[in-house]
Amino acid sequence: MTTPTWAPPAAPPEALVAGELRLDRWRPGDRDDLYAAVDTSRAHLEPFLPWVAGYEPASTEWFLNQAHEGWEMRREFNYRVSGPAVAPGRVLAGVGLMARQGPGELEIGYWVHAAAVGRGIARAAAAALTDAAFALPGVECVRIHHDPRNVASGRIPARLGYRRLPDLVPGPPGREDERHVAWVVWKDEWAPVRG
């Protein structure tokens, strides 16, 4: 995890509602549900999320610890997504806001359980996270970055009205050699298409 140069002055709510979906801050008790969601989604997630390779129960412990510390330090705000779409109470997705882009900016990340894709879960969660980001003092811009091959990921910001930047940007920490597509939305232009 990189050290951000900026953090928002407050954290977003620990629970958010997005239609039928709930976004809840990760808790230690989520360990087994999180591991099961990633474990059964390996083939779907791994092409675009290298951390899935070698994922094991200890990885879940590590992530939940990092998520707790990141939240307390206001470096990142990670949520589990649950709802009735597939299995009530189970983890449908993992999403988050990250303060790693510099002053006034937050970046959204997301993955969705293999059995729950194509139902608008990432789009609804990203809309709720963008709302939550702009409710924080000092946040002026929200970003979504993705591998150019990840067409499904690019549909999320496109459908929400983000603007695609003309130039590619470095990949995330540890993958800076990659070139990723960047989408941005500014606070004064945020008017999500939620359908």
List residues binding ligand COA (CB under 6 A). Answer: 44-45, 48-49, 110-112, 117-123, 146, 150-153, 155-156, 159
Beta-carbon-side half-sphere exposure of residue 65 (alpha carbons within 13 Å): 7
Give the residue with the Cβ less far from ligand COA, 90 or 159: 159
Residue 15 beta carbon to ligand COA: minimum distance, rounded to whole angstroms: 20
Nearest CA-CA partner of 110 in 145, 58, 73, 74: 145
Q: Please state, in angstroms and rounded to a whole number, the distance separating the CA atoms of residues 168 and 146.
A: 10
Residue 17 beta carbon to ligand COA: minimum distance, rounded to whole angstroms: 17
Nearest CA-CA partner of 56 in 77, 76, 78, 34: 34
Beta strand 141-146 with 105-112 is parallel
Q: Confirm if 162 and 128 have CB atoms less than 8 A apart.
A: no
Give the residue with the Cβ less far from ligand COA, 8 or 154: 154
Question: Helix, strand, coil proportions of the chain in percent (round to 5)?
Answer: 35, 25, 40
Q: Please state, in angstroms and rounded to a whole number, the distance separating the CA atoms of residues 169 and 152.
A: 18
**35 is written with which tokens?**
């591991």
Residue 162 beta carbon to ligand COA: minimum distance, rounded to whole angstroms: 13
Residue 178 beta carbon to ligand COA: minimum distance, rounded to whole angstroms: 11
Give the residue with the Cβ less far from ligand COA, 2 or 10: 2
Give the residue with the Cβ less far from ligand COA, 63 or 111: 111
Give the residue with the Cβ less far from ligand COA, 29 or 88: 88
Give the residue with the Cβ less far from ligand COA, 7 or 117: 117
Residue 10 beta carbon to ligand COA: minimum distance, rounded to whole angstroms: 26
Residue 51 beta carbon to ligand COA: minimum distance, rounded to whole angstroms: 11
Place of tokens 């999180």: 34
Q: Please state, in angstroms and rounded to a whole number, the distance separating the CA atoms of residues 91 and 39.
A: 12
